[in-house]
Each structure stands twice: as structure tokens, then as C-alpha cells.
Structure 1
Amino acid sequence: MITIKDIAKEANVSEGTVDRVLHNRSGVSTKTKEKVKKIIKKYNFKTNPIASALALKKKFKIAYLIPKYDEQNVFWKFPAMGITKACEEVENYGVIIEKFTFDQFNSLSYLKEFSKLIKGEPDVVVLVPMFKEETIEITKKLESLNLPYIFMNINLEGYNNFSFIGQDSYKSGFVAGKLMCLSLKEETTCLTIQTRSNISNYLAISKRIEGFNDYISSNNIKITNLNLTINLDNLALVKKELNNLLEENQKIKGVYVPSSRVGIISDLIEKNKIKTLHIIGFDTTEKNVKGLENNTIKFLISQKAFNQGYESVLMMSDFLLYKKIPPKKVYSPIQIIIKENVEFYEPNKRSF
């Protein structure tokens, strides 16, 4: 007997999408709706109202602990969008999503939001382990309550999370190092710009820097790498400091920003200086894409952040509804985005 899962597989859509078509709910494109309807008709599929009613009696809760986003930290908008989109697809199966957001520069905010989260008695927890010491405290609490948890975006080792979804930060930094070395001549200088002081506590960034430096050193490439740590709270001061540094050291031909703030930084560099620079950063935020289109940013490395949020909801829903154990690691792609291919990237995120 054919099931909703079989129809979803044949149509190459999610089970939630099939359910929406069956119950004539919004949120499905006309093209997808017609494709699913043809398969339903082909197999003469009928829903079982009794089974549906029983399914709705059982409610499951997935709780998210993720960073807030704002104009300077817009990256986290996209996983949040993915979570919201997936929520629409699983709600009819009795899966409830709760999001708790914290200040990514404030470890106390991280702990405070977790305290709120745990009071809601979730069935599983998805968290972005931004702060290592505090994550130890949080995971001990989860384990004492026998609550399954997974990490999203940042992969800390030595914990009992049963899955991770996100990019391999070290390898993405390694790729960035290769791109920089292909762009620069030897005997030049590259500037790595960090935008937070507690870099050792922010694993994804530190791993990207490690991978970048390892590519240069392991290939014996004669490029000097300088480091600069800045505070984006005072952009006028950063602009002056950065342009003075570029003026004093004109051998700097590459700028590596191991975060989504590359667009903010490229905007601070004077036009007469930026023409000679090869700037590489991460993530396809609106400002970063504009930098590509204006030729102020050479490469962006993206990880499909929208999909991290979206896929994590579906993965955890499958676990709760069907006891399907997810893979230990679900890696996001390491995609190199340039001016010429950016318009074809992540159409689902833009349309949503």
C-alpha cells in the first residue's frame, strides 16, 4: 500500500508538502501541486481520517536556541527563515517549534534563554553552541533530563550531541586559503580581520582561521599573513584605523574576513585602496552579495544557512515521528560564490 512518504519520494518533495496538497492548504507552488496530484491520482491514494486524527493527538516540541540577528549580524536571519518555513510543513503532524534567541556576544544571555527554553519541556533541543564553557553547563542539564540534543552551525567535539548540521569550518577556511593564494602573488601580504575579541570561544571563526593559515603554511607559499581585531561598535574609528594600516603597509593585497561581516568591512575601505585588494569572506547576506556585484568582494564562501534551519526541523521531526536516527554529521556544502553565479544561488531563500 502506497504511503505519503512514498508519494513524497516520487515527487521529490517533503511529506509535509504532500500533506498540504492532500488537504488543499496554501504554501505549495502550482507546479509542485500539479506534480503531486498526478502521483496521488496514479495510485488512487486516499487519506485515512482515523489515522490522521490519532496522529494529531500526540504533540511534539522542538526547541531552538539560536543567536539573534540585526543589521550587523544578519547571518542568523537565514537559519531562522529556514526554521519558519519548515515549521509550516510539520505543524500538521503535531510538531511544535519554539525559538529562543540570545545575544551572540553575551554568554549570560545564552544561559538566560536556555533557562526559558527548558521550562517549556521540549522533546528535543537544537542549539548553536556559541560559548564553550556555557555549553558544557547546558549539555549537562540536558543529559540529566535525558533530552536529546543536536548542534547547528558550530560543531563542538567531545559532547554527546547525537547529530550536527552545518559546515566543516576548518575545510571552508582551507578553501578560502587556496582561493587567496591563487589570487595573490608571492612576497605579498594578506590581512585577516577578526570582528570579535573572544575569538578562542567562537569555534567556527577560529577553525576558519586555522584552516586558512594551514593552507598557506602547508604549501610553503611566501605570503605574509597579518592579523587585525576590530570592534564594529564604532565604524568611524574602524574605518580610520583600517585605511591607515593599508596606507602604511601597501604590500597588503589580500583581505580575509572569516565571517559574514565582510560586506561591512569592505564598505569601510576607501575606493582608491579597494581596487587593488582581493577580499574573501563568508555568507550571501544582502550586503555581501552587493559587494560581489560591485567588484569590491572577490569571493564568498557560503554554507546554505537557510537549509541548516529548514533541514534540521525536518530531521528532528522524522526522529520524533518515525524514530529515524539522523546521521552523526550532516555537512552543509562549501560553495564558492562569485559575481557571475550569485544570481543562481539559494533561490528558495530569496523566494521565501
Structure 2
Amino acid sequence: MITIKDIAKKANVSEGTVDRVIHNRGGVSKKTKAKVKEILAFYNFRVNPVASALAMKNKHFIAALIPEHNDSDLFWKSPYLGILKGANDVRRFGVQVNNFTFNQYDPDSYLKTFFSLLETKPTAVIMVPNFLKETKIIVSKLEALDIPYLFLNINIDGFNNKAFVGQDSYMAGYIAGKLMNLSVPKPSSFLIIQARHNIIKNNSISNRIKGFNEYLLKNRISSKTQTLQIDNLNDSLNTKEKINTYLKDHPEVEGIFVPSSRIYIVVNCIEASYLKNIKFIGFDNTPQNIECLKNDSVSFLISQKPFEQGYESVRLMTNCLTLKKDYLNNKIHLPIDILTKENVDYNERNEIVFESEVQKNNS
């Protein structure tokens, strides 16, 4: 008997696309829909009524609360796509996943979006705990309603989240320290550039910095670290002036570590005379960062596999709901990838293939 998987393979689309066509859910281009329907008709495909009834009986709604992405900050596009891929794969189990996005710099947007999410009466929530005060409000509401929740990308201790899916940020920073020491082996001075909003809210950033410093300390490296705080990296004029003035006053700096996904902004602000004499290490394979890696402005990027983070969070929460698996307070750490100009094109192939498929289906 032919399956949805067989139909998807013959139509060169995802199983989720075939499922949407079968159940007339929309989100598929007319051309793709016609192609899938033609194959369904050719093989006289019929939905298994028992399996369909079982899926409807066990209907679950997972809501994902994550930061929005835009052209200047594309990091959150990857977990978003990972969640979409997960949503396609778990729909057959009677699980529906909806994304709710908020402004990552605005705690009011975070809270307001959560209450909009809550109106949809979710069975479970996947969330990025972006602000501590507001996260306490959100979690207290979820626990009062007995709604299980999972932390994605950013972890905060002291909560009863089912699990955390993301990077071991301390170890990632530790590896960054090792890479910097290998890049500049003689005793030197390394500058850590941090946006002020990250100092306030992002536990992952502080853990990376801790790991970076402790690598040098534990291995008795003579190099020293300095920290430069930038109020707003998006304010390019002030950022450029502040960084270049600092480098002028501190000519001993031979390495710069940016513990966030914004290293491309730092690189673009630095004058060429400083740029050629400094080694740069940052995080995340956003298109802007990859460009800096390929033109040798950045020596290494450390990837936290954000697409897999999104996908894995949906898979885990689905298992929790449908198989009654308990992952309470488990930390699911994704591999820490070290990216260079030579290997970056081979990274995140699953995301590239899936995004291409989404674009094709919507064309």
C-alpha cells in the first residue's frame, strides 16, 4: 500500500506538504497542489480512517514563543524554520504547532505576545525566556493552567521547564577561548565586545564570556581580557566611533571575541588599519557572519545549530504529549560546530534543503 512518504517522494515535496493537500489546509502553491493531487489520484490513495480518527482524538496544540527575525538580525530565522519542519513532521500524530513572535528587545512585546498565545488555549508551550521578570509571570500563568513548557536556546535555572534545548554556552565560550589562544599564541590582550542589552537579559552570553575567560585561567594563559560595552550595536555611528577609539587607545589588542550573533556589525565598524591585525571569533552562521568568514575578516564562527534546536524542541514536546515521556529539567545540548571559510558551505544542509522546499511550495 502506498504511503504519504511514497507520495511525497514521487512529488518531490515534504510529507507535510502532502498532508496539507490531503486535508486541504492551504499553504501550498496551486502548481504543487495540482501535482500532488494528480499522484494521489493515480495511486487511488485513501486516508486510513482509523489513523485519522486517532489523530483527531489525540489533538494537541503546541505554541512556540520566539523572537522575530529581520534582515539586520537573521539568527532567529533558523529556529523558526526548524520549528516549521518539526510541525510538518508531527502533524500526522495529531499535533499542531503555531509560531508566535515578539520583539526581542522589548519586554512588553514579549509579555503581550504571550497573552495572545494563551488565548489559543495551547496544550504545551515552547518558549525562549528572553527576560527574567516577564518569564516569571509567564511561567506562573502556565503552571497555574497546568500547561507544560520547554525552554529553547536560552536557559534560566530555577524553573520547572520540561527540558532545555540549546547550546552548552559555557563550553562554547571555553572553545572560543582555546581557538583565540591558538590564533594568537603569544601573550596578548583580547577584547570582549558585548551589547548592553545582552548584559541585562541573556544568560547564554554571560556563560560564553565565563567559559572564554576560564579557558585562559585554567590553562595558565598569560593573555589578558578586556571588555567593551556597547549601548546599541544597531547605532552604527556611535558603535564605530566607540570601537575605533578604544582600539586606538589600546594598541595591545590582538583578538576580539563577540559572544553573540552580531560580529558582522563589529567587523563592519572597524577601520581597515585595525582590521588586518586582529583575529575575530564570533557566533552563528547568519548570512552576514558567513560573508565575514569567507572574506577572512573573521577567523572562526561557532554554530549552535539553531535549526536543529527548533526541530528538536518540537520533537521532544510531541513525545512528552503523545508518549507521556517526562524530560523534566533535562538539558538537551546540540553539537558545537566550529566553522571556517573552508567548511561553512557544508553546515546546516537540512535547513537549506527545507527552506528551499518551503520557497518552492509557496511559489
Fold conserved between structures, TM > 0.5: yes
What is aligned with 2:258? 257
> 1:72·1:261 contact (CA, 8 Å) conserved in 2?
no
Cα deviation for residue 198 of structure 1 reads 5.1
Among residues 328, 339, 342, which one is paired with 1:340 in the alignment?
A: 342
Letter in 1 for 2:285: T
Q: Secondary structure at the match of 2:225?
A: strand
Aligned length, in residue pairs: 320
SS in 2 for 1:114: helix
Q: Secondary structure at the match of 2:76?
A: helix
Residues 198 and 172 (structure 1 numbering): CA distance in 2 closer, same or farther, change over 3 Å?
closer
| Structure 1 segment 113-128 matched on structure 2, within 5 A | 113-128=113-128
1:52-201 correspondence to structure 2 within 5 Å: 52-197=52-197, 199-201=199-201
- 1:106-140, Cα deviation, whole Å (9 max, x unpaired): 11211111111112111111111111122122111
Distance 2:214 2:181 in 1: 12
Which deviates the most, 322-331 or 149-158?
322-331
Q: Which deviates the most, 279-288 or 234-243? A: 234-243
Query: How far 1:246 sits from its partner (Å)?
Result: 1.5
Gaps of 5+ in 2: 16-45, 356-363
Residue 331 in 1 paired to residue 316 in 2?
no
Q: Which residue in the other structure is 2:40 paired with? A: none
Report the Cα distance in structure 1 between the residues aligned to 2:12 and 2:344, rounded to whole angstroms. 29
Structure 2 residue identity aligned to 1:83:
I
Q: Per the alignment, in what secondary structure is the counterpart of residue 117 of structure 1? A: helix
In 2, are the aligned partners of 1:107 and 1:131 still within 8 Å (CA)?
A: yes
Aligned residue number for residue 37 of structure 1 = none
5+ residue gaps in structure 1? 1-17, 30-45
> TM-score, with normalisation over the residues of structure 2?
0.83
Partner SS state of residue 284, structure 1: coil
Q: Given the two structures, how large is their TM-score scaled by the length of structure 1?
A: 0.85
- Residue pair 1:155, 1:164 contacting (<8 A) in 2 also: yes
Residues 153-162 or 65-74, more deviating: 65-74
2:309 corresponds to 1:308: yes
TM superposition shift of 1:79: 0.2
Amino acid corresponding to residue 315 of structure 1 in structure 2: L
Residue 21 of structure 1 is matched in structure 2 by: 6
Sequence identity percentage: 43
Q: Deviations over 1:195-226 (max 9, x none)?
A: 23451421111111111111112222111211
Deviations 1:69-119 (A, max 9, x none): 123321111000111122222223321112111111111211111111112
Q: What code does the residue aligned with 2:256 have?
A: V
Give the stretch that moved more between structures: 143-152 or 49-58: 49-58
SS of 2:196 mapped into structure 1: coil
Distance 2:308 2:197 in 1: 29
Contact 2:105 2:197 survives alignment (8 Å): no
CA contact (8 A) 1:200 1:206 kept: no
Counterpart mapping for 1:272-311 below 5 A: 272-311=273-312
Distance in 2, matches of 1:242 and 1:102, equals 30
C-alpha contact 1:189 1:251 (8 A) present in aligned 2:
yes
Distance 2:137 2:47 in 1: 46
Tell me the CA shift for residue 320 of structure 1: 2.1
**In the alignment, what sits opposite 1:243?**
244
